[in-house]
Structure 1
Amino acid sequence: MNDGALAACIETRLKPGGRDVLAARVLHAAREAGLQTPDGLQIRQGWSLRIAGGGPRAELLAQRLLADPVLHDWRVLEGGASPAEPGLRRLEIVRRAGVMDPAAQSVVRAAAALGLEVRDVRSWAAWLAPESTPDELLLTLGRELLANDVIEELRLDPPACVPPAPELPGSGFSLGTVPLREADEAQLQAISSDGCLALDAAEMRAIAEHFRQLGRDPTDIELETLAQTWSEHCKHKTLTGLVDYEGELHDNLLKSTIARATHELEREFCRSVFVDNAGVIDFDDEHLLTIKVETHNHPSALEPYGGAGTGMGGVLRDTLGTGLGARPVASTDVFCFGPHDLPADQVPKGSLHPRRVMQGVVSGVRDYGNRMGIPTVGGAVCFDERYTANPLVYCGSIGILPRDKLEKEVRPGDLILVCGGATGRDGIHGATFSSLELHDESETVSSGAVQIGNAIEEKRLMDAQLAARDRGLYRGITDCGAGGLSSAVGEMGEHTGAEVELDRVPLKYHGLTYTEVWISEAQERMVLSVPPEHEAEILALFASEDVPATIIGRFTDSGRLVAHWDGTQVMDLSMAFMHDGLPRQTRRATRRQRQLSDPRELSPDEVGPTLLALLAAPNVASKAWIIRQYDHEVQGGSVIKPLVGVTRSGPSDGAVVAPVLGSARAFSVGHGINPKLGDVDPYRMTLHAIDEALRNAVAVGGDPDRTAILDNFSWGNCDKPDNLGDLVESCLACYDGAMAYRTPFVSGKDSLNNDYRVGGESRSIPPTLLITALSMLDDVCQAASMDLKAPGNLLLLVGETGPELGGSHLAGQLDATGLEVPPVDLELAPRIMRAVHAALAAGLVRACHDLSEGGLAVAAAEMAFAGGIGARIDAAAIPVRGAPDLGRRLFAESASRFLLEVEPEQLGALRQQLADVPHALVGQTRDDDQLELLDGSQLVARVALSALHLAHACTHDLDGEYTTS
């Protein structure tokens, strides 16, 4: 493009009379958040750019690409012109320099397809309000709802339109070294803290000693590489270290509990565990299944949309990087937020309001998954005030992999190819940032750790990569995630060596230093090892799919990681020291002292109101507002959806997907998570999480004897001995549970620094463990849903109900904790799972629902309103352990229980299948619209299905479908 290119702003707006949905949504959100709103609000979408050919070409770009002539008016302003409109004030939201702008990238690409030459594109939005609107009202609206200061800036009534993207200045080359050899303890700690390295004193001393032996100080890029490699995020130092727990030494909790169970079980369906980017298990004669769940917590706290979106993008790349590349066929998401109705004055300084975090996180996962064309099929949401400053975002991916594409390798002489997105400053220090606790200045200090993703870029990358896989054009692959190229190349070359020319890496813009290029976590990138004879073919293939691909070096046999910048060597590290030089430390763990309280008994006249209150409890209430934003039909394989029943209002226990079209083979996926139990007993919480994940997978048809599980720990700072003690208890329970159910762990992840520091006070999240279960179905026709199917059927309860209420929703409703979490009978529970599965496989069950939060009464209510079928339940008829009172029989959350609907003529056959486990006939379905709860002959509650549904639907009704603002 010649220097005479026109700097222009192109702005679109709805034609007069058009419904401004975005403005209406913002006004609704503002009112819900208690913010003052202007009398009216309008939005303008804008693009600033430089375009060859001047004004006529800019008009053509607006007409052909940026505006819909039916819906929009547009205007083109030359650079420097005022955008003001009579009678209106203007608040512009503009991305900061260097922040990823996917819309701008799309404009450049689409303009080229039209034969238009544009560059320096920036997308932005302008919100217009009446000229009488005060400054503070507009700025508050901008700060609280419209913009995030981490990635965007506000321009109030600007004198000139937004300029095109600025050309960032070049950094110039200067090789930096870090004076470690002569540094004392305080200086070493200052170097780590100032550089966001997340290395402790012992680790810094080990690095300093290593370089003393080499007779030199490390370069800046060498120190950064070690920090990424040794981060808690990448190295799992706590779980693989030494822990002294109440005088007993545990050496490598990961190996001695979670991995130990898998290796002792030696299940025949496990194909790859703990060695690749995801776990791999058998599926059918031609295919394997991969599964991985990742956390993206800290970035989502700072920039919820970008953090959650790149969390989903990252776990999808884990799938693409497993074996020689699996194709993603399903996604899952589990979130933990603060209450979205939390008063604003209770939000810690430096944190976003939970409502805004939730809306941003959901939007980020939605946009990434939907645009990639991958169904989001299941998940869960938990609410607790302790997640306000530390939200948790778990993103899961299930992929399908040809059996002959599992094995991969890297050989000396292979070329190092980076493909996908270009590299920018986004995500700098992401791996080390996630290894630190958040604080009230994280928004400013660590803003560079936030990544912004581009799902369309990753979709192109996926298609090109899988085509290259099928042609056999590469030998090894991994994703470019935490730590960027430093992690990807460092891991792939661990047993060989690698030499990298960093100045060859494609950049989004000028000005990056060699270290920034190396550790950037810019998204949508994969690293491949390519045999030299395939170089031309693979580059041509990626070019044909419009996916950038560049050879940046080669793998060697030196055992060293070497990098150059424009001919100058900037790094020369021993692979052995990088991967094995981390000093092991002994951490102290203690048993937590707990203050527990026993809830009172519930009177019969409280049963109905309590049921409605529990249905409306945040952790029980419908998550339809989230679910309905996701595409769970794309690819055509989803069988049991997240919402089921006649009005799609019933919360499905799990999901069932048949990924190979034309085949009856399917899988189910379920989740178990209940942090409230961990406040009382983290060991039993863990067993409940395993039991719940299995119940959810089995309830929709999965086979418990062909089930694999995953662990995802999110914990408070484990430098606190009681937090670490809770983690030890949870790991021990992982081993016991996996062995009892014979369910191997095949993958996992931990996030162990979820604290938030305000001043001198540090607050931890509750101990939170997510268990994901992946189970097989031979025949998709065996899948079952939870909604009642017909009046006149019988209801059977499988499993025993005990008196314990520890961590239960009923205890919370009665302002107590409960004294004891219900035990999980590890001999009985697996038998119950197998018996229920056998009954489902035999076609004896019309509906199946597991009992979890809220117990029997909540499960019966959900089944009834989901199916639009009335029901009667007799609490006196249920199988019990001990002597639970009425409230406990109806609302206790005892483990390993299912409520089954059966046709009368199938009752005998069903009871025969269940003969070896506790079960009882507890009720029947009815041809009315009521749920009746009895205690023997006494009717204790009669509630209309419409009231049950409304209570369940309203709590998270953020769009006002059931309530008005």
Structure 2
Amino acid sequence: MPIFRLEIENRPAVPDALATKTAQTLSAWLGLSPARIRTRKVYLCDLDINEAEAQKVLAAIADPVIEVAATGALPDGDSADPPVILTVSFLPGVTDAVGKSVKTACEDALGRTLTGQVYTGTMYLVWGLARADVERAAAEVLHNPLIQRIRIEEPPRTPDLTVPRAGVAQTPRTEVVPLRGLSDEALERLSRERLLALSIPEMHAARAHFEAEGREPTDAELECIAQTWSEHCKHKIFNAPIDYTDPEGRTRRIERGVFKTYVVAATEDVREARALSGIDGDAGDFLVSVFSDNAGVVRFTDDLHLVYKVETHNSPSALDPYGGAMTGIVGVNRDSFGCGLGADLLANVWGYCLGKPNHSGALPKGLMHPRRIREGVHHGVIDGGNQSGIPYMRGFELFDDRFVGKPLVYCGTVAAMPVETAGRPTHEKFTAPGDKIVMIGGRVGKDGIHGATFSSVELNESSPVQAVQIGDPITQKMMFDMLAEARDRGLYSGITDNGAGGLSSSVGEMAEASGGAEVDLARVPLKYPGLAPWEILVSEAQERMTVAVPPDKLEAFLALAARREVEATEIGTFTDSGRLVVWYGEEKACDLPLVFLHGGLPKVVRTARWSPPVRAFASSSDREKALAARPVGELLVSMLAQPNIRSGERYTRHYDHEVKGLAVVKPFVGVCRDIPATATVMRVRHGRDEGVVLGEGIHPHYSDLDTHAMALACADEGVRRVLSAGARIDRMAALDNFCWPDPIKSATTPDGEHKLAQLVRACEGLYEACVAYGLPLISGKDSMKNDATMGGVKISVPPTLLVSVIGQMKDVRRALTLAPRAPGDVVYLLGETDDACGESELSRLLGLTLDGVPRTDPRRFAARYHAFAAAHEAGLLRSAHVLSRGGLAVALSHLVMASELGLSVSLDAVGRGLSPAIALFSETTGRVVLTTRAEDSAALEARLSPHGLVRLGAVEPGVSGRGYLRIRHGGQTLAELGSDALRRAFQEESHAV
């Protein structure tokens, strides 16, 4: 059938936003100054349509008011001044979500179903740059060769009609992979070449199983085992017994692994303490479902539970920042939706640890510049969330050159789950033998093959291109809407995400509920022909879920899917055979006992030894000399411009936080709505005042000194954030996300034993904080191989823990923000200030290595937080804000910019014998700056003085509508800065590209 090329561009009088952004980026990043850029959308319609229908399609998809369009090619401009033309399009097999939507639009315009596909591209017409400059722009900014192809030409041109069809016509076959008699070297080579990421003991275990069955494995069986046993899926390091030598030289065995010993134990101990204290009363256990499903579930109201999950998508985002990050957000959407029998998605959260955007050093070949990764991950999560109609409520960025090798990309989703659905508890699945296995949503392709095993090893030159995925949020949104309707009608008995490991994991995991499963891969809808059975089985192609449907509900389920234009296919049956049996037509591809698949992974005892490298710290005299060289006001302005302190608003404004209309305390607050909120608050349902409060803590730099202190600081900050917004202290829960460099000693990781000891120390700190604060851990994720070796250079991330805290409010109308309310209010600091500048923002600003990592006393702080929460309940608080990176100075600056009021504070009572600069910039944990009415100050002091309450000063009227910060010490004014000066420094990057 003929291929029709459609080109569409804005009319000359209509601004071209993409062209403008591209010109700004080329100038800022590459120093290129094009005279002019124009962009076009290109569609190659490989459909069963004729010329007249192509014209009808063009008329349907082009806006006649603001666009011009043509079949074939639009004019390229004056022949006397020809542009260089760059066209960027996808490689064969890469998901083209826009092309899929355009095909649907074509079908709607023509009123019939079409065969074939639409392939999209973006054309840049560039004037004023040489062809070599355009080639450089394409290589460094405008395309990713892993997923895209380019074409560079000059007029006159012949419209390119080449379409990137994928697939082959061959009949796929299952192969036998001999293991018997192979040496360890051969087994290791087989694992490496197939990207199985299986160790020698694991390869031995697999071989022994098949020898016992008297046969060799098929490729599908070996791949299924590899996905199921991957670090990504089985969390082998977290679950391994560990022989641990602590900082005092004492050795002990952590028999149950750090996950059960610390993470699960923290939740169990908090649960027991809540039961003994009667906190939950007659409401039932606050913890509804933890560590047993796709996400954590806690009790919220009589008719709703809350669901929360935060995931990482680090390795894919290093290869393709846009696609990797998008699959992160749409994937965690599926995790929260697929918890129990399904939950309604409320909000997304995100966070990125990246290399510094202004990185000017040499990069190992194969690594993208951090600013390109930053642009890509933002764009991917923005598209995934905005196109799904889900607002964002929290976001952060952190920068360090050690994230150049592998960025950390956190994506999370909060959801609301009905307590009951169709007469059953919604948090429970009830899949039974005989239920039909239905795959619903997107089709299967090679994208995402080996995703789970790829994420279980370090990034290097051999990392597989096919691990890169691109999500299709529109297809996924349609699937969610249809499944929510099916859930409410009771049409299925179980559901889970086709995430890591694809069907091998989703069906394999769901089969444990019934006792077995039988699948026919020949029924699975494919994006293109030619996939081998093992590829269909383990592909992680996006926007898919696996559903268990009782036989008597199948017809209704499939009819509903068809009516909602969602593809759903019965591919097998859940059984009680005890085995996962996979066919491809008449050919058996896989036959594995579930007890071996899920329980046959050999446990290896790991060794952890605390042996930190010796560090040379700056002396006290060097520190004081550096501080004396710069006035306090100058230090503060410089601090506000630091990468880890400044606003970041330019990026976050592209995320939609208003859709659904539930936000109360929004991500940015203050009179100008430009100061990041301490924590965010949102309703769950319109017309009801119960609220969800979200906050977090993350401090990877503290790990350079002590991961135990780092973990305590993360949990402590997350708790302080939600309490400072008004959360109930008895209804907080947390999620832990560990992102670690490889903690296993090897030739390439000689310090692996210390890195594993750092993990143990962090888990100990997390346990201590959670138990002290009554903070149960309800879900989490660990990512253990965050290293990159490119061009012979190894780059490892610092040990990083993100603690995400979800709190609850009875009445969102009582929520607090950080902004002072009115002149005359009194400003207080709650909590003592110590000399805690080790790995602080001050140390980076001064360029000095400082000792004294912030230490946290969770049991003492817990009493402080209970008193603080009681003061809020009594109506004594007007505003509250945590002290975090940058210390008191940054927190006070936030207050001034948010309120445009004056703040006159004294440091005389802050700290014991501390210099003013240390009192201002110390990052001592456990502190909150708050305000109250003058008439309430005595009552507040009576409650909080035993917990370290210090009066700082007062809120004053602004000058000419502008706020100011006056800092005094010993009767002298050290600095007086207007809000304009503070804001210019704080928002410096927001005005840049």
Q: Does 1:924 align with 2:954?
A: yes
Q: For 1:379-394, what aligned pairs fall within 5 Å after superposition? A: 379-394=395-410
Structure 1 Cα separation of the partners of residues 918 and 687 of structure 2:
47
**What root-mean-square deviation, in Å, do the aligned CA atoms of Structure 1 and Structure 2 show?**
1.7
Contact 2:392 2:655 in 1 (8 A): yes
Contact 1:605 1:940 in 2 (8 A): no
Q: Does 1:9 align with 2:30?
A: no
Corresponding residue for residue 805 of structure 2: 773
Q: Does 1:489 align with 2:520?
A: no
Contact 1:650 1:787 in 2 (8 A): no
Structure 2 Cα separation of the partners of residues 663 and 436 of structure 1:
47
* TM-score relative to the length of structure 2: 0.93
Contact 2:681 2:815 in 1 (8 A): yes
Corresponding residue for residue 586 of structure 1: 605
Structure 1 Cα separation of the partners of residues 675 and 126 of structure 2:
41
Contact 1:94 1:154 in 2 (8 A): yes
CA offsets 1:573-606 (integer angstroms, 9 cap, x no match): 1111111111111122221224141461233952
Corresponding residue for residue 53 of structure 2: 57
Contact 1:336 1:384 in 2 (8 A): yes
CA offsets 1:115-162 (integer angstroms, 9 cap, x no match): 2646331000111123x7433211111111111111001111175414
The alpha-carbon deviation at position 181 of structure 1 amounts to: 1.3
Corresponding residue for residue 466 of structure 1: 484
Q: Does 1:416 align with 2:416?
A: no
Q: For 1:166-245, what aligned pairs fall within 5 Å after superposition? A: 166=165, 168-245=167-244
Corresponding residue for residue 896 of structure 2: 864
Contact 2:84 2:131 in 1 (8 A): no
Aligned CA distance change for structure 1 residues 82 and 899 (closer, same or farther; 3 Å): closer
CA offsets 1:338-392 (integer angstroms, 9 cap, x no match): 011112x522210111111111111111111111111100122110000012101
Q: For 1:713-752, what aligned pairs fall within 5 Å after superposition? A: 713-719=738-744, 720-752=752-784
Contact 1:51 1:57 in 2 (8 A): no
Q: Does 1:950 align with 2:979?
A: no
User: In the alignment, residue 187 of structure 2 is paired with which amino acid?
Assistant: L
Aligned CA distance change for structure 1 residues 316 and 85 (closer, same or farther; 3 Å): farther
The alpha-carbon deviation at position 85 of structure 1 amounts to: 7.9
CA offsets 1:455-510 (integer angstroms, 9 cap, x no match): 11111111111111111111111111000000000001025111000010111111
Instruction: Say which of 870, 892, 903 aligns to 2:933.
Output: 903
Q: Does 1:367 align with 2:383?
A: yes
Contact 1:596 1:816 in 2 (8 A): no
Q: Does 1:654 align with 2:676?
A: no
Structure 2 Cα separation of the partners of residues 82 and 12 of structure 1:
11
The alpha-carbon deviation at position 847 of structure 1 amounts to: 1.5
Corresponding residue for residue 520 of structure 2: 501
Give the 3-state SS of the residue equivalent to 1:298 in structure 2: helix
The alpha-carbon deviation at position 958 of structure 1 amounts to: 3.8
Contact 1:604 1:886 in 2 (8 A): no
Structure 1 Cα separation of the partners of residues 52 and 78 of structure 2:
23
Q: Does 1:351 align with 2:367?
A: yes
Structure 2 Cα separation of the partners of residues 595 and 433 of structure 1:
34
Instruction: Say which of 418, 428, 435 aligns to 1:407.
Output: 428
User: In the alignment, residue 697 of structure 1 is paired with which amino acid?
Assistant: V
The alpha-carbon deviation at position 293 of structure 1 amounts to: 0.4
The alpha-carbon deviation at position 18 of structure 1 amounts to: 2.5
Structure 1 Cα separation of the partners of residues 393 and 530 of structure 2:
42
Structure 1 Cα separation of the partners of residues 21 and 768 of structure 2:
49
Aligned CA distance change for structure 1 residues 85 and 458 (closer, same or farther; 3 Å): farther
Structure 2 Cα separation of the partners of residues 171 and 245 of structure 1:
53
Corresponding residue for residue 521 of structure 1: 540
User: In the alignment, residue 276 of structure 1 is paired with which amino acid?
Assistant: D
Instruction: Say which of 469, 482, 503 aligns to 1:451.
Output: 469
How many equivalent residue pairs? 945
Q: Does 1:607 align with 2:639?
A: no
The alpha-carbon deviation at position 170 of structure 1 amounts to: 2.1
Q: Does 1:938 align with 2:963?
A: no
Aligned CA distance change for structure 1 residues 200 and 958 (closer, same or farther; 3 Å): farther
Q: Does 1:73 align with 2:89?
A: no
Instruction: Say which of 878, 882, 886 aligns to 2:916.
Output: 886
User: In the alignment, residue 254 of structure 2 is paired with which amino acid?
Assistant: H
Corresponding residue for residue 21 of structure 1: 17
Higher mean C-alpha displacement, 477-486 vs 824-833: 824-833
Give the 3-state SS of the residue equivalent to 1:792 in structure 2: coil
User: In the alignment, residue 204 of structure 1 is paired with which amino acid?
Assistant: M
CA offsets 1:896-953 (integer angstroms, 9 cap, x no match): 1111121211212222332431101111112133211111301111111100011111
Q: Does 1:260 align with 2:265?
A: yes
The alpha-carbon deviation at position 17 of structure 1 amounts to: 2.9
CA offsets 1:675-727 (integer angstroms, 9 cap, x no match): 11111111001000000001111111112221111100001011111211111
Contact 1:37 1:137 in 2 (8 A): no
CA offsets 1:638-671 (integer angstroms, 9 cap, x no match): 1111100000111111111111211111110100
Corresponding residue for residue 619 of structure 1: 644
Corresponding residue for residue 962 of structure 1: none
Structure 2 Cα separation of the partners of residues 410 and 63 of structure 1:
48
User: In the alignment, residue 876 of structure 2 is paired with which amino acid?
Assistant: L
Structure 2 Cα separation of the partners of residues 167 and 84 of structure 1:
34
Q: For 1:419-438, what aligned pairs fall within 5 Å after superposition? A: 419-438=440-459
User: In the alignment, residue 265 of structure 2 is paired with which amino acid?
Assistant: R
Give the 3-state SS of the residue equivalent to 2:45 in structure 1: strand
Instruction: Say which of 591, 594, 597 aligns to 2:617.
Output: 597
Instruction: Say which of 858, 862, 881 aligns to 1:849.
Output: 881
Contact 1:8 1:48 in 2 (8 A): yes
Ranges in structure 1 where 5+ consecutive residues have no aligned partner: 960-965
Contact 1:231 1:435 in 2 (8 A): yes
The alpha-carbon deviation at position 50 of structure 1 amounts to: 3.0
Give the 3-state SS of the residue equivalent to 1:635 in structure 2: coil
User: In the alignment, residue 270 of structure 2 is paired with which amino acid?
Assistant: L
Give the 3-state SS of the residue equivalent to 2:908 in structure 1: helix
Corresponding residue for residue 797 of structure 1: 829
Structure 2 Cα separation of the partners of residues 52 and 572 of structure 1:
41
Contact 1:278 1:291 in 2 (8 A): yes
The alpha-carbon deviation at position 956 of structure 1 amounts to: 4.7
* TM-score relative to the length of structure 1: 0.96
Higher mean C-alpha displacement, 5-14 vs 289-298: 5-14
Instruction: Say which of 577, 580, 583 aligns to 1:564.
Output: 583
CA offsets 1:431-470 (integer angstroms, 9 cap, x no match): 000001012x25xx41110111011111111111111111
Give the 3-state SS of the residue equivalent to 2:30 in structure 1: coil
Corresponding residue for residue 794 of structure 2: 762
User: In the alignment, residue 497 of structure 2 is paired with which amino acid?
Assistant: D
Contact 2:607 2:753 in 1 (8 A): yes
Aligned CA distance change for structure 1 residues 109 and 55 (closer, same or farther; 3 Å): same
User: In the alignment, residue 457 of structure 1 is paired with which amino acid?
Assistant: T
Ranges in structure 2 where 5+ consecutive residues have no aligned partner: 246-250, 275-284, 421-425, 745-751
CA offsets 1:180-218 (integer angstroms, 9 cap, x no match): 112110110001000111111111111111111112110
Contact 2:364 2:793 in 1 (8 A): no
The alpha-carbon deviation at position 51 of structure 1 amounts to: 4.3
Determine what percentage of the aligned residue pairs are the same residue. Answer: 38
Structure 2 Cα separation of the partners of residues 370 and 683 of structure 1:
37
Instruction: Say which of 290, 307, 328 aligns to 1:273.
Output: 290
Q: Does 1:536 align with 2:533?
A: no
Corresponding residue for residue 94 of structure 1: 89
Corresponding residue for residue 707 of structure 1: 732
Corresponding residue for residue 963 of structure 1: none
Contact 1:617 1:955 in 2 (8 A): no
